[in-house]
Amino acid sequence: MDQPERPALKRLYIETYGCQMNVYDSERMRDVLAPLGYAPSDRPDDADLVVLNTCHIREKATEKVYSEIGRLRAHKERRAAEGKGMTIAIAGCVAQAEGEEIIARAPAVDLVVGPQAYHKLPELIARAARKSGERLAADFTAQEKFDALPARAPDGVSAFLSIQEGCDKFCTFCVVPYTRGAEYSRPLGDVLGEARALVEKGVREITLLGQNVNAYHGGEGGFAGLLRALAQIEGLVRLRYTTSHPIEMSDDLIALHGEEEKLMPYLHLPVQSGSDRILKAMNRKHDGAFYRRIIERLRAARPDIALSTDFIVGFPGERAQDFEDTLALVRDVGFASAYSFKYSPRPGTPAAAMMAQVDEAEKSERLARLQKLLSEQQRAFNEAQIGRVLPVLVTGQGRKPGQAHGRSPYLQAVHFEADAAPGAVVAVRIEAASQNSLAGARAASATEAA
């Protein structure tokens, strides 16, 4: 009997740059392309379709995209000589911000697709294959995208869930309001539905994503209301969220950190600078005292909460004293982890046109001093866990039998000795700490893991 003809297996390679929103979007692109017969590949050279999911946040991030396109062009030419095709798609924030420029500058690129148009990928790919019509799709709304994407296939016990896109804050250094558009919150019911489906498929930890996740307003009770509703889902054991804005830390949300056990004691709360003058020029809408007060109240609600943040050094007009104010804030707060960057002027943003740009060498020197202090704090925070018993969510097994790895409540990677299945929460006695992870062994009883 004749078998119905199955579509030939095609290979898909996605390279993801930038923030977790992009990691989430890449996952969704894989889902949307699976029904077309695309199976994931881990290398670009043998792929039928290569997607670069790009980031526009700093100049270096953008440059990487053009050099990667150059490398892909060589693969594409080699494959063409072998009679095989390769479709190159540029997605993400560079696609949104510089779509026209990519089309003009890089003929090897078959299509450019902005972050709100991923549900259109099958159609765009078909059109590119026929070499007809549009190479650029960057004109949709976040709502259209979420409504049109298919169900997800999570591949682990910990998953991202995007609940909000875009930003209306317009910090003067930042491209996000331009590349991701206006703030949009997904309806509460949709978020709960996606969360339940993830948990049914084995997910135990959900990290809610958004550029301003705590500004969520898709249902009654705002962001804290959403967290409360999610915490009701049986089988879901851990909740996290990123990234938050200090001015959106509501009383309700702060209180919830002390009340809801599923909400993990870790918060990424970008401050950017410790200088009030610079914060004002950045249009951050908060000063150093406001930030310190939020931290104090969070610690009152949840004394062991671990804090993480972002800094920009060398913002236009930053003087030596402003930078000292940043170091003082770091010393006062004490961070478990942090990201810090040299200011990078982004075309079209207000700060790029400011007169007093800081010298590159000065930026580098300040960044090195700041990072030294931050990494000392991170190491001290990790070392402070030695001797404690922590509840660790197992995310996978190690190379040898009897080894496993997972995450502490404070988002530290933990490697430990135990036969433990992914998805379980086990008590681990911490015996060693390094800059980036902890090591230990299973403790006698899970009840010790408080």
Residue 392 sits in the site that holds ligand SF4 (CB under 6 A)? no
Helices 360-383 & 320-333 angle (0-180, nearest 10): 10
170 binds, among ligand F3S, ligand SAH, ligand SF4, none (CB under 5 to 8 A by kind): ligand SF4
Query: Is omega for the bond preceding 87 within 30 degrees of 0, making it cis?
Result: no
Cα–Cα distance, 175 to 388 (Å, whole number): 42
Residue 245 C-beta: closest distance to ligand SF4, Å: 5
Looking at the Cβ atoms of 275 and 340, the one nearer to ligand F3S is 340
Q: Which residues pair with 394 in a beta bridge?
A: 406
Question: Contacting ligand F3S (CB under 6 A), which of 47, 57, 209, 411?
Answer: 57
Burial class (CB in 10 A: 0-12, 13-18, 19+), 10: middle
Calculate the alpha carbon distances from 21 to 7, 47, 189, 448 in Å.
31, 24, 20, 36
Site string for ligand SF4, 154-193 (x = CB under 6 A): -------------x-xxx--x-xx----------------
By CB atoms closer than 10 A (0-12, 13-18, 19+), residue 85 is middle
Q: Which of 12, 14, 19, 72 binds ligand F3S (CB under 6 A)?
A: 19
At its nearest, how many Å lie between ligand SAH and the CB of residue 171? Answer: 7
> Binding marks (x or -) toward ligand F3S, 69..108, rule CB under 6 A?
-----------------------xx---------------
- Cα separation of 246 and 224, whole Å? 15
- Examine residue 291 and tell whether it contacts ligand SAH (CB under 6 A): no
Could you tell me if 391 and 409 are in contact, meaning their C-beta atoms sit under 8 angstroms apart? Answer: yes
Least Å distance, CB 57 to ligand F3S, is 4
Is residue 216 within 8 Å of 163, Cβ to Cβ? yes
- Tokens representing 232? 């009701």
Of positions 50, 51, 55, 312, contacts ligand F3S by CB under 6 A: 55
Which residues in the 228-257 window bind ligand SF4 by CB under 6 A? 245
CB 438 within 8 A of CB 397: no
Choose from ligand F3S, ligand SF4, ligand SAH, none: what does 92 bind? Cβ within 5-8 Å by kind: ligand F3S
Within 175-263, residue ranges assigned H as helices are: 176-179, 188-200, 222-231, 251-259
> In angstroms, how far is CA 227 from the centroid of its own chain?
19
Residues 204-233 that bind ligand SF4 (CB under 6 A): 211-212
* Residue of minimal Cβ distance to ligand F3S: 18
CB of 116 to ligand F3S, least distance (A): 12
Residues 252-311 that bind ligand SF4 (CB under 6 A): none
> Considering CB distances under 5 to 8 angstroms, the limit depending on partner class, which of ligand F3S, ligand SF4, ligand SAH, none binds residue 177?
ligand SF4
**How far, in Å, are 80, 190, 196, 343, 346 from residue 447 at the CA level?**
61, 35, 27, 47, 51
Q: Is residue 180 at the binding interface for ligand F3S, with CB under 6 A as the rule?
A: yes
Six-digit token pair at 149? 């994407």
Q: In angstroms, rounded to a whole number, what is the distance separating the alpha carbons of residues 247 and 89?
A: 37
Of the two residues 171 and 230, which places its CB atom closer to ligand SF4 in the complex?
Answer: 171
Nearest to 377, CA basis, from 286, 320, 311:
311
> Among candidates 354, 411, 373, which has minimal Cα distance to 274?
373
Question: What type of residue is 341?
Answer: F
What minimum distance in Å lies between the beta carbon of 233 and ligand SF4? Answer: 28
Which of the stretches 50-58, 98-106, 289-297, 337-345 binds ligand F3S when contact is defined by CB under 6 A? 50-58
Q: Which of ligand F3S, ligand SAH, ligand SF4, none binds 18 (CB below 5-8 Å, type-dependent)? A: ligand F3S
Q: Using the rule CB under 6 A, is 339 a contact of ligand SF4?
A: no
The binding site for ligand SAH (CB under 6 A) comprises 57-58, 173-174, 176, 211-212, 243, 245, 270, 272, 310, 312, 341, 343-344, 346
The binding site for ligand SF4 (CB under 6 A) comprises 167, 169-171, 174, 176-177, 211-212, 245
The binding site for ligand F3S (CB under 6 A) comprises 18-19, 21-22, 55-57, 92-93, 175-176, 179-180
